[in-house]
Amino acid sequence: MARTKREQAPEEKRNEIVAAARALLVQEGYDATSISRLAAAAGVAPNTIYWYFKDKDEVLIAVLDAELTASMSDYLQLQTTSRTERLLWVANQLAQVSRLVSTVHTRLEQSPAIHAWHERFHELSEGVLRAEFQQAGVAADRIEARVKISVFAIEGLLSHPLPEAEKRAICAALVGE
């Protein structure tokens, strides 16, 4: 096909791959999302994925970045409710992409790129929580442990789903309400 006959901007094709990858990674997981399946879902040949991405982990990172951007902008429009409800909202948002979270933790050790993304994500999350605890008047020398415990508890809620009431009780215990 001649170059002038393009029907699609190149980054649109890339976005299609990312969208297909998001759906597959969330619903089926990393291992079940083979490059062949992803290519079929995106309507390209398997090796075409490698024109747009260095390797499979870079596809994952593109999905994670898109997800993070969308979720952060949602969070910022939420400053109305109580701290408990805000934390519960975050837990429930992440629960919708829990397979993504679990995949990140598994591939941490094998992929330096995923490792770096994970570090960045935790710095961001802990910054937000630190600000919440400061605002709530928690003593300065107790904030760090409280921040870590909250992060760990949220992650725990992802891999071990609980009824809404129990989740809320845990969030309340975490923020001290």
Site for DNA, rule CB under 7 A: 1-3, 8, 10, 13, 33-37, 44-52, 55-57
92 is in the binding site of which of a second copy, DNA, none (Cβ under 5 to 8 A by kind)? none
Indicate whether 160 belongs to the interface with a second copy (CB under 8 A): yes
Work out how close the CB of 72 gets to a second copy at its nearest, in angstroms, rounded to a whole number.
21
Work out how close the CB of 15 gets to DNA at its nearest, in angstroms, rounded to a whole number.
12
Work out how close the CB of 50 gets to DNA at its nearest, in angstroms, rounded to a whole number.
4
DSSP string, the chain: --GGG--S-HHHHHHHHHHHHHHHHHHH-TTT--HHHHHHHHTS-GGGHHHH-SSHHHHHHHHHHHHHHHHHHHHTT-TTS-HHHHHHHHHHHHHTTHHHHHHHHHHTTT-HHHHHHHHHHHHHHHHHHHHHHHHTT--HHHHHHHHHHHHHHHHHHHHS---HHHHHHHHHHHHT-
45 is in the binding site of which of DNA, a second copy, none (Cβ under 5 to 8 A by kind)? DNA
153, 161, 163, 176: residue in contact with a second copy (rule CB under 8 A): 153
Measured from the CB atom, is 51 or 152 closer to a second copy?
A: 152
